[in-house]
């Protein structure tokens, strides 16, 4: 009797655990679906705003568009396939290994390109503010396509070792996504972390440190001579973009830190749900940059309104509506 009683209690406990697990998976899938939708919509909004708003159509915002494209790949492609992997428990990707290989490559390249674009924008602002004469020689319409191509080539180079036996792509059953193998290629994990995360973050930190030193020296100099030199004064447009990118940088570090720590130090030792949440948090980062732009830069708020009005089926009143909305936006604090 005691044996059957123990068996019944064990069965009840298993059902409770299974029920809790199912509840977590449902919540996890809902989170992925929300980030996929919001990220897709938001990043299209960013690209559209730059295209339609005159004040955003500046050369340096090509990096902003490229960042939005990288984030769009995560939101519109990687997250939906992660949902598919969770719903089929990986069986879909076991049937189509080449597709899993492709998705894993896109995941790594787009995530790395996201952070390297943040670094590229920071370098661009550093040169623009601290070395203005050099800026106009370095950043031209002819050179910008090569910079963009170079960023994607660099990020593909970060993933390339997975194709030649150092590391490897696979469907990860703990995170329900196609990605690189964390265990068999630990040296590759260190390589990816160093080149794909630590290096660009160091560059961003250096650029902001130098900009802060430059701003302080300029402020002291202008205060001493008692006038504002337009050649030395930091423009408001530069400050707005700096504020946006600084916020994106901080948020990126916070949202990618759990995933980075997990794959480097704790993979296979902590519960699976921790890894799932770390993956979800990292991918959610690609869905919130559009919100940061809106919160920190009034030109993006204006661009969002213009782009949405162009997309909505409005008639002649759309122009007057746009004008009134622009007036309302321009009265806000920048």
Q: Which of 230, 235, 212, 215 is nearest to 55 (CA)?
A: 235
Cα–Cα distance measured from residue 249 to residue 68, given in angstroms and rounded to the nearest whole number: 14
Q: What is the pLDDT of residue 139?
A: 93
Confidence category of residue 113, pLDDT binned at 50, 70, 90: very high
Domain that holds residue 102: 33-330
Q: What is the pLDDT of residue 246?
A: 78
Contact 257, 193 (CB under 8 A): no
Cα–Cα distance measured from residue 31 to residue 52, given in angstroms and rounded to the nearest whole number: 31
What average pLDDT does range 230-241 have in this prediction? 58
Whole-prediction pTM value?
Answer: 0.80
What average pLDDT does range 48-76 have in this prediction? 91
Position of tokens 């899993």? 100
* Torsion, CA 79, CA 84, CA 88, CA 91, rounded to 10: -90
Question: Does residue 235 fall inside a structural domain?
Answer: yes
Q: What is the pLDDT of residue 145?
A: 94
Question: Does residue 1 fall inside a structural domain?
Answer: no
Across the chain, what does the average pLDDT equal? 79
- Give the number of other CB atoms < 10 A from CB of residue 132: 11
pLDDT for 56 beyond 80: yes
Please report which helix (H) or strand (E) contains residue 172, including its range.
Answer: strand 169-172
Question: Does residue 2 fall inside a structural domain?
Answer: no
Q: What is the pLDDT of residue 131?
A: 87
Q: What is the pLDDT of residue 14?
A: 40
Cα–Cα distance measured from residue 31 to residue 270, given in angstroms and rounded to the nearest whole number: 21
Most confident listed range (53-57, 124-128, 151-155): 151-155
The total number of structural domains that make up the chain: 1
pLDDT for 164 beyond 50: yes
pLDDT for 333 beyond 70: no
* Three-state DSSP state, 169: strand
Cα–Cα distance measured from residue 53 to residue 302, given in angstroms and rounded to the nearest whole number: 7
Q: What is the pLDDT of residue 28?
A: 82
pLDDT for 214 beyond 90: no
CATH number at residue 41: 1.20.1070.10
- Give the number of other CB atoms < 10 A from CB of residue 229: 10
Question: Does residue 124 fall inside a structural domain?
Answer: yes
Contact 192, 155 (CB under 8 A): no
Confidence category of residue 143, pLDDT binned at 50, 70, 90: very high
Q: Please list the residues that pair with 170 across neighbouring strands.
A: 179
Question: Does residue 189 fall inside a structural domain?
Answer: yes
Question: Does residue 21 fall inside a structural domain?
Answer: no
* Three-state DSSP state, 96: coil
Question: Does residue 108 fall inside a structural domain?
Answer: yes
Q: What is the pLDDT of residue 260?
A: 80
Question: Does residue 5 fall inside a structural domain?
Answer: no
pLDDT for 221 beyond 50: yes
Helices 61-73 + 2-52 axis angle, to 10: 150
Confidence category of residue 11, pLDDT binned at 50, 70, 90: very low
């Amino acid at each position: 009797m005691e044996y059957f009683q123990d068996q019944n209690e064990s069965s009840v406990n298993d059902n409770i655990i299974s029920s809790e697990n199912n509840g977590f998976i449902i919540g996890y899938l809902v989170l992925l679906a929300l980030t996929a939708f919001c990220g897709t919509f938001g990043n299209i909004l960013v690209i559209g705003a730059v295209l339609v708003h005159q004040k955003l159509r500046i050369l340096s915002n090509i990096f902003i568009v490229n960042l939005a494209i990288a984030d769009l790949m995560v939101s519109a492609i990687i997250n939906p396939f992660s949902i598919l992997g969770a719903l089929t428990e990986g069986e879909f990707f076991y049937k189509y290994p080449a597709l899993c290989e492709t998705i894993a490559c896109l995941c790594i390249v787009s995530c790395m390109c996201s952070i390297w674009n943040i670094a590229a924008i920071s370098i661009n602002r550093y040169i623009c503010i601290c070395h203005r004469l050099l800026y106009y020689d370095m950043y031209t319409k002819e050179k910008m396509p090569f910079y963009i191509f170079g960023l994607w080539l660099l990020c593909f180079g970060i993933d390339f070792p997975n194709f030649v036996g150092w590391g490897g792509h696979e469907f990860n059953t703990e995170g329900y996504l196609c990605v690189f193998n964390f265990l068999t290629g630990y040296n590759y994990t260190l390589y990816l972390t160093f080149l794909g995360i630590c290096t660009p973050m160091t560059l961003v930190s250096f650029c902001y440190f130098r900009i802060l030193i430059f701003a302080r020296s300029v402020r002291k100099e202008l205060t001493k001579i008692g006038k504002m030199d337009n050649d030395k004064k930091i423009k408001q447009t530069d400050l707005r973009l700096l504020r946006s990118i600084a916020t994106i940088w901080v948020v990126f570090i916070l949202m990618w830190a759990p995933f980075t720590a997990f794959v480097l130090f704790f993979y296979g030792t902590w519960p699976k749900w921790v890894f799932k949440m770390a993956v979800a948090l990292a991918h959610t980062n690609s869905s919130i940059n559009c919100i940061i732009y809106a919160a920190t830069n009034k030109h993006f708020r204006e661009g969002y309104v213009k782009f949405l009005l162009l997309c909505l089926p409005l008639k002649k009143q759309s122009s007057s509506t746009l004008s009134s909305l622009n007036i309302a936006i321009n009265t806000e604090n920048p």
